[in-house]
Every structure is written in C-alpha cells, then in structure tokens.
Structure 1
Amino acid sequence: MAIVLQILLVVWVFRLLTNVFRLCATKFYFYLFKNNYKHLNRCSRPVGVLFSKANTQQYVVCTERRYSVKEMYQDYISNCLTDRHSSNKISKIFNNTIGVYSYRIRQNFYPVFWLTAPVNALNSVNVHPNTILSVLINILFWLINFSAGYFLEKFLDNNLPTNLLSTFDKLI
C-alpha cells in the first residue's frame, strides 16, 4: 500500500510541476503576444505545442491582403501569431489555454480525481470506457491495491525478521 501511495505522490508532483510549467510558459507567450513582440514567429513551435497539450483550438481564420484582395484562410494558430486581424480570436484561445492549465493544477488537489486514477489515466491516452466499465475498473484497481498491500505487509512481517537475523549473523 505504501508503495502505491509513493507512486501516486510522484505522479502527483510530476503532474503538478508539468502543468505549472505549461501555465507559466503560456502566460509568458501571451505576454509577448499582447505586447507585439517583433520576433513572435520564432515562438510559433512552442506555442503550438502548448495549445496541442491543452487540447484547445488548433486553427484560426487568418486574413491576408494579396494583390489588393483580402484573402481568408484557415491556418495553425502558431503560424498566425503576427496576424493583426485574428488577434482577438488568438487572445481568446490563449485565455482558454491558460484556463485549461489552471484547471489541471486545481484538479491535482481534488480527492475524487485521485480516487478515479485508473480511469483518468485511460482518459489521458484517449481511451474512454463507459460508466459501468469505469466503475468496475476503479473498484478492481483499489481491491488489488489494498489486497496487495495487506499481503505484502503480512509477508514482510513473517519473513523479514528471520531473514534479517540470519543476514546479520553472516555479516558478523
């Protein structure tokens, strides 16, 4: 049981740090976007990765004037960061991405999220079981977890003292 709790603690810390880093990075690029940073096109790849990790909108309608004709086309958000005509839409998408990462950070502190850890792990890899199957997966996970912890504790209580004493006798 203690091993599973330690693993969950490591996952909790890793998930928290990852989402805090992504939130800070998104806020930094949003700050650059709002202040019309002149080399914003250099940041297009990391911005695209942040949007894709948050599963927010990937495309935006961009406008471009060619030969005195206004042309509209759909492109990746990261390619349209310097387009003045789509700046309001990109600003909304930045705010949505910041909201997603803030929600994921808060989700780390919700106990119900961690009680349903196996189903949440499946959902993170785009496997969405139905309600009955997800309840069965959670119950099975926690039954195996508690029984493995119980039997491991019994095994260590029965075998560790005798093996430990014989090991100390060999060392001396």
Structure 2
Amino acid sequence: MGRWEPNARGRLANAALALYSERGFEQTTVAEIAKRAGLTERTFFRHYADKREVLFAGSSQLEEALVQAVAAVPRSAAPIDAVAVGLDTVAGFFTDRRDFARQRQAVIMANAELQERELIKLASMSAALADTLRRRGVAEPAASLTAEAGVSVFKVGFERWIGTAEEREMSQFLRESLDELKAALTGHQP
C-alpha cells in the first residue's frame, strides 16, 4: 500500500490490533505496526503519540459525547435518566465495531499497564460526568454516586455486549444493565 492511500489512521489501528493479538502488546514495535499497515513510522507518529494510544485514541471523544449528551437533557430529568441518555449516545460509537472492541479488550486484559490505563480512562469519564451533573444542579454526593453508577453500567454493559454471541446493539445491553441496577436499588425485578 502506498502512502497516498486513504485511512492511514484506520490502517494503523487495524495493523496494531492484529499484531497485539498475534504477538502481544509488549512484543510489538511501532516499526512493525507501520510496516504491516504499509506506512512509515513517521506516519504512525503523526496519528498516535505511542503504541498505547492506538487502543485509547477515542477516549476523549467518547467522554466528550457523554458529557454533552447529559448536559443537553432537560434539568427536570432525574440524574440517572440524564446519564441513561448519555449512555445511549456513547453506544453509537460502537456501532459495527464489536469485533474491534472484543480484540481491543482482549489485548487490554492481557497487560497490566493497559488495564491501568483503561481504569484511568473510566475514572476520567466518571469525574467529567460528575462535574456535568453538578453543573446541572445535582448536589454531592449524589452527583459523584450517579456518575460512578453510570460508568459502572457502561463497564458492565460493554463487557456483556462483547462477551455474548447475541447480535443485539450495545445500547440494549447498557439499558438492561441500568434496569438491573435500578431493580437492585429498589428491590423490584426489572
């Protein structure tokens, strides 16, 4: 493939994920990723700061979409219902990306450093969500508790979505996980 061919970023991400899956994250070099993608190392570094960023590149966009969706919900909505709207929004990021998400998660789970990075990403998402809820007038500790619950729903729903052979959308798994949480808190079956 030549330099002029489109989607260098996507080609690099696919090459990296394939190599991480085949050889392991630690054993894969940027040079190998670039070569597999038919690009140069210089092109790799134009798109990613390092080889970890291939796995976490969309984190800030995901967090921003979540925050914006929650902020746009009418203030009359209950905090957890505002978070539900945000979760529906971020589920759209994963449309037609289940195989990539599964591979990505397998690579992360095989490496302690990447697991730590994933936890940092989730903590950042929770902090941004709590801040958004506070700006909506939700007092503490309700804002932080709701944000943490929302991130937990995201995490559990995501894991269920990638772990099943069912071909349902991620949003359905997120809604079910939220319903399960609400049922656990109220003592009622969903």
Query: Could you say whether these structures have the same fold, taking a TM-score greater than 0.5 normalized by the shorter chain as the test?
Result: no
Q: Which has the higher contact order (CA 8 A, sep 6+)?
A: 1
TM-score tier by shorter-chain length is under 0.3
* Structure 1 length-normalised TM: 0.25
For the pair shown, the structure with the greater C-alpha radius of gyration is 1
